[in-house]
A and B are shown apart, each in its own frame.
Chain A
Amino acid sequence: MLPRRFCHCHRARLQFLSTRLIGQNVSGDQYDVIVVGGGHAGTEAAAAAARGGAQTLLVTQKLSTIGTLSCNPSFGGIGKGHLVREVDALDGLCGRLCDQTGIHFKVLNRSKGPAVWGLRAQVDRLLYRSAMQREVCATALLNVREASVEDLMVEDPDASRPGLARVTGVRLGDGAIVLGRAVILTTGTFLSGSLKFGTSSVPGGRLGEAPSVGLSLSLSELGFTKGRLKTGTPPRIRKESVNFDKLEVHHGDERPVPFSFMNAEVAIEPSQQLLCHLTYTTPGVEDVVRDTLAANDHVQQDTKGPRYCPSIESKVLRFPGRAHQVWLEPEGLNSELIYPQGLSMTMPVEAQVALLRHIPGLEAADIAAAGYGVQYDYLDPRQLHPTLETRKVQGLFMAGQINGTTGYEEAAAQGIVAGINAFLHTRSLPPFTISRTEGYIGVLIDDLTSLGVTEPYRMFTSRAEFRTILRPDNADQRLTERAYHQTGCISGARVVTARHIASRLSEGISLLKSLCLSSYRWKQLLPEVGISQERSGHMSAFDVLQYRGVTLDALAAVFPQDLVPFLDLSDRIQVEALYEPHAEQQKLDMEQVRRDEQLVLPTDLDYLHLPASLSIEAREVLHRHRPPTIAAASRLPGVTPAAIMHLLYFLRASGQQKEAGGPLVER
């Protein structure tokens, strides 16, 4: 666990750093990459760009809030755990920091198959934040500055690339200008944010923090399409006021599974980890919600919230007459607070108190901070390239909630992709994108940039077509090596580890495939496995491993000399064996998607007037969604195979003017 000494020392250093920066002559400042915002997207973006070698500046309104968990004190979950693993495979921060600061680890969906396991951890809010601040400070080339960003500086575009303008820097609250070749906006809920308590509303991005209004205006001036979304957070409850005695206790895993591929175990001993508790709403809760509806603007307004119900108000209104789950989550090892997951609400504070009275265990609950709602601007993510660079302004990137997503993991995932590509942009290197066939990050960004959002976008495993291949266990094998080659934003230690595992995995698997015995012999050795009596001929140890109940340990008992050296990888090898029979078909399907993804559609196509034989319906759909690739276009409803053909024809025809007989525009 984190030594206390270190925290202090690190705070002092942060202080020092900011004084030093503020004391400088700011007008002469010039960076490769400027990151606006210090949340989950901002920190990953800034660290990734700096890892690549970019002189990076992270600007935030408050240094002390870098790495804050604004909402729930937990990371991961089903689908989200996949994202954390993938961010880690790209050498990101959040996975490692969770392993350092997690206080309750649990792999969800254990019984449902390793492809959909949801790695999840409660983390200590304070420890996480200081660990993040320490990490940011320790990152070479990464500087931080406390300031608000009021405006974007732009110039004429680089004529060789698409775009109407080129970003050159930002103007700070005090009027100072900082130059940067790339700017990444990760403003979360701060863009014209307003906080809702009952019927009152105050400007703000988070409790006690001012919104970014100037930036919102300058984005409008640049012609970006904006929308408005809402979200909310529950009241925080004083631990000593909760009666845990009658509540259902939930323990973490006895053997915590770390998020990071770099960690064999987590920092805080399982024995030191904390408990979660589960309670349920009662009919009284429903009454309170209904009685206070008139005094609850947030719920009544029609700003888009998610179809899934984040607030207790929308839960009881849409699904009345049920007991809804409330998870009581610890906020930290030494924290006096409890986070009631499932009780996000925006009613007046008195009503919140009244509502808690109707929940077993919370009858005498004391609210330390009331729940509230947030409404904020987001930019239509269809205005982005799959690199998260905006189509309009060269060098300007967006990541996180500003793109209409919700969740720390979704933010971190976009942050790292934006950071890597901002770095590549400053070096004029080819961009780095992740396909839907390669990772949940690819699914996330493709969904955002090709379909846009109508509600805060959250990751689910059901969104991934290739779920049995895009697993949490193999994120390193899917992403690390390629990212290392193509970006330079991956540390040497990281890629060495990934390569070592890759070679041992393939060694172990080919060894298992080479260990053959007659099926008769296998039946004798492993009688309980249920190898069919009908089966004859030879079977490899890998085939046998696909049977339910067979473990690598059991096989190692048969071939101790060969297999014992691979026992440390038994979990991973076993998962590979389980999904192998199904992988062939998936790989064929992936190939098709990948080929279509290679066919990039120019961003400035005028679909409505394209001289190609397209139906009006197809034109309108294409015009509205501006799919970045043929793959994305073919997923749009209303775009027929014939329309795709004509589009391909048009592309080939116009592409030929530049490069006779050459291939289509390839990514």
Chain B
Amino acid sequence: MKQGLPPPRTAVLHSISDPNSGELLDRGLLLWFPGPQSFTGEDCAEFHVHGGPAVISAILQALGSLPGLRPAEAGEFTRRAFQAGKLDLTEVEGLGDLIHAETEAQRRQALRQMAGDLGHLYQTWSHTLTRALAHLEAFIDFSEEENIEDGVLNQVDNFVRQLQMEIHSHLHDNRRGERLRSGVHVVIAGEANAGKSSLLNAICQRPAAIVSPIAGTTRDVVETALDIGGFPVLLSDTAGLRDTHDIIEKEGVRRTRERLEQADLTVALLDVVGLLEASNKLTHLLFSFLEDLNVRQKQQCILVLNKIDLLHKKELNDLHCALKKEEDLPTVCWLSCKTGSGIEEFLRVLRAELEILCGNPLLGMPSLTQARHRSHLHKCLEALGLYEYYKRADMALAAEGLRSALASLGRITGKVGAEEILNLIFRDFCIGK
């Protein structure tokens, strides 16, 4: 927002853009409550935005990138309101229960997340950072009177550098956090004329792509933004993969491969008739096809066998049996874009995959949590930068960097107190006076 503050306590329609990129995020209602006439007695602003997780997540992230702003702790607004004498008893009682519910939900959610790979990753970071801080604190508090081994500071540097790298790449390479903002990238790919565009149209229920029986009809990537079962999806139809001398088609194939690199989920499409012809080396054909599509994990792929209307029932049954034995294949869907048979089942599978990729929003607003996490991780990185900046000039300020990095991470993984730092110091170093 570039203009000044809106008039107090008046709802105004406003466009909301990212303060860094200038990108328009949403248009929504904005309410400005200057203190002390606000819920907490402090200056407050309310954003009423469109409810999609993508919009909310984008706005939270944009807000979190502003200096001095961070997500509130559980119950923090109420606490501040209470301290400012803004709440009467019944209100506090009700809110107390609400906060209880809120924190309970957060606890459950945190538990769910902490049980997974992501939780494990955060915990590892927290341990590394705690050790780095303990070593630095030991160096500050004891190195002049006790023999703290040389190289303690180098070790702290190494810990910090490793963390910076890992958190940085986590924030930038791993798109998990962004999926809900820009949608899950689903790419339909396969050989020429397997029916990719037909499948896209079947999913969209409108002719988004031109279809024809001529192989190589689709030469560029056709993108469609969709809502599938409540999940934002960016669906791409691509040029069929084949060797070609046509310059335009060649470029199309290159773009297809590029898109496959970035895909969250690949819908690998095959003409089932082709399979029948290669029945003796079926497995080999399927796996080299998937490899060609850059499918590295079977979880990131749905294998769709199209044109089942062209096969006899017996042929279909034989193929079914042959593929059933292959455990390493992705989920297989049999369908015919022409007759529409199997499309419903395919959409069900697709929804299930999306649910896994995004997390179920009914289980406690993952977008909110993710935005929270990203914001804390960004703050953590910033604070590690402070360490780097001060490490040779002023240890107290350098340690301040690590302390606030740990506090940021602690908002995800749980607080680490001074006692735990001291425990580590006394475990790792011989200190006595």
Q: Do A and B bind each other?
A: yes
B395: which A residues are within 8 A, CB to CB? 109, 112-113, 116
Whole-angstrom CA separation of A595 from B79 in the bound complex: 11
Q: How far is the CB of A489 from chain B (nearest CB, A)?
A: 30
Cβ contact within 8 Å between B146 and A325: yes
Interface segment, A42-50, A172-180, A302-310, A496-504? Answer: A302-310
Rounded to whole angstroms, the CA-CA distance of A323 and B425 in the bound complex is: 18
Of chain B, the residue at the smallest CB distance from A634 is: B79
Residues in B whose Cβ lies below 8 Å from that of A613? 96-97, 100
Interface membership of B289, Cβ < 8 A: no
Min CB distance, A621 to chain B, in Å?
Answer: 14
Complex CA–CA separation, A582 to B397 (angstroms): 8
Rounded to whole angstroms, the CA-CA distance of A310 and B83 in the bound complex is 44
The verdict on A641 contacting chain B, using a C-beta distance below 8 Å, is yes
Q: How far is the CA of A642 from the CA of B96 in the complex (A)?
A: 6
- Chain B contacts for A246, CB-based, 8 A: none
Residues of B near A319 (CB, < 8 A) are 430
How many angstroms from the CA of A119 to the CA of B423 in the assembled complex? 25
Binding stretch for chain B, among A352-360, A394-402, A559-567, A649-657: A649-657
Stretch at the interface among A14-22, A457-465, A476-484: A457-465
Q: A595-B83, A649-B96, A652-B92 are in contact. Are A79 and B141 (CB under 8 A)?
A: yes
Are the C-beta atoms of B397 and A309 separated by less than 8 Å? no
Contact with A along B55-81 (1 / 0, CB 8 A): 000000000000000000111101100
The answer, yes or no, to whether B145 is at the interface (CB within 8 Å) is yes
Residues from 640 to 667 in A contacting B, C-beta threshold 8 Å: 640-642, 644-646, 648-649, 652-653, 656, 663
How many B residues have CB within 8 A of the partner chain? 48
- If the complex has contacts A341-B433, A635-B417, are A648 and B92 also in contact, measured as CB distance less than 8 A? yes
CB of A115 within 8 Å of the partner chain: yes
Interface residues on A, range: 35 or more
Whether a CB of chain A sits under 8 angstroms from the CB of B432 is yes
- Asked if B1 lies at the interface with its beta carbon under 8 angstroms from chain A, I say no
With A613-B97, A645-B96 known as contacts, the answer to whether A322 contacts B140 (CB < 8 A) is no
Q: Encode A134-154 as 1/0 by CB contact (under 8 A) with B.
A: 000000000000000000000
CA of A642 to CA of B95 in the docked complex: distance in angstroms? 9
Q: Are B433 and A108 within 8 A (Cβ)?
A: no
Cβ-closest chain B residue relative to A462: B137
CB-defined contacts of B431 to chain A, threshold 8 Å? 308-309
Q: Is A637 engaged at the interface, CB distance under 8 Å to the other chain?
A: yes
| Chain B residues within 8 Å of A213, by CB | none
Chain A residues lying within 8 Å of B137, measured Cβ to Cβ, are 460-462
Is A315's beta carbon under 8 Å from chain B? yes
User: In this assembly, does A52 line the interface, its C-beta being within 8 Å of a C-beta of chain B?
Assistant: no
Q: How near does chain B come to A428, taking the closest CB pair, in angstroms?
A: 28
Q: State which residues 390-427 of B face A: CB under 8 Å.
A: 393-397, 399-400, 404, 417-419, 421-423, 425-426
From the candidates B89, B394, B396, name the one contacting A656 in the complex (CB within 8 A): B89
What 1/0 flags go to A285-325 for Cβ under 8 Å of B? 00000000000000000000011111100110011001111
Is A238 positioned at the interface, with any CB of B under 8 Å from its CB? no
Check A309 against B96 for contact (C-beta < 8 Å): no
State whether B75 touches A108 (Cβ < 8 A): no
B145–A645 CB distance below 8 A: no
Given contacts A109-B140, A323-B147, A325-B146, contact A115 B432 (CB under 8 A): no
**How far is it, in angstroms, between the C-alpha of A318 and the C-alpha of B394 when the chains are bound?**
32
Residue B85 lies at the interface, judged by CB distance under 8 Å to chain A: yes
CB distance from B423 to the nearest CB of A (A): 7
Residue of B nearest to A646 (CB): B96
Known contacts A79-B141, A315-B430, A318-B430; decide if A645 and B89 are in contact (CB<8 Å): no
| Chain A CB within 8 A of B103 CB | yes
Please measure, in the bound complex, the distance between the C-alpha atom of A315 and the C-alpha atom of B146, giving whole angstroms.
12
Chain A CB count within 10 A is highest, among B73, B74, B395, for: B395
Cβ of A374 under 8 Å from chain B: no
Contact of B418 among A322, A458, A462 (CB under 8 A): A462
Residue of B nearest to A109 (CB): B144
**Contact indicator A641/B73 (Cβ below 8 Å):** yes
Could you tell me the distance in whole angstroms from the C-beta of B42 to the nearest C-beta in chain A? 11
Of the listed residues A324, A327, A460, A640, the one surrounded by the most CB atoms of chain B closer than 10 A to its CB is A460
Do B147 and A324 touch across chains, with their CB atoms under 8 A apart?
yes
Which A residues touch B82, using CB under 8 A?
Answer: 645, 648, 652
Taking a contact as CB atoms under 8 Å apart, the answer to whether B83 and A463 are in contact is no
- Closest residue of chain A to B404 (Cβ to Cβ) is A585
B43 at the interface (CB under 8 A from A): no
Asked if A309 and B430 make an inter-chain contact with CB atoms under 8 angstroms apart, the answer reads yes
Q: Which residue of B144, B394, B399, B419 contacts A108 across the interface (Cβ within 8 Å)?
A: B144
Does A118 belong to the interface (CB within 8 Å)? yes
Q: Give 14 new A-B contacts, CB below 8 A, not counting A307-B422, A645-B78.
A: A109-B395, A113-B393, A115-B394, A307-B423, A310-B433, A460-B137, A461-B396, A462-B140, A467-B396, A467-B400, A468-B400, A548-B393, A599-B83, A649-B93
Across the A-B interface, the 8 shortest Cβ-Cβ residue pairs? A113-B394, A115-B396, A309-B432, A319-B430, A112-B395, A642-B100, A462-B137, A307-B426
14 A-B pairs whose Cβ atoms sit less than 8 Å apart in the complex: A78-B140, A109-B140, A109-B144, A109-B395, A116-B395, A306-B432, A308-B426, A308-B433, A314-B432, A460-B422, A462-B425, A463-B418, A595-B83, A642-B99
Hey, which bits of chain B sit against chain A, CB under 8 A? 73-76, 78-79, 82-83, 85, 89, 92-93, 95-97, 99-100, 103-104, 137, 139-142, 144-147, 393-397, 399-400, 404, 417-419, 421-423, 425-426, 430-433
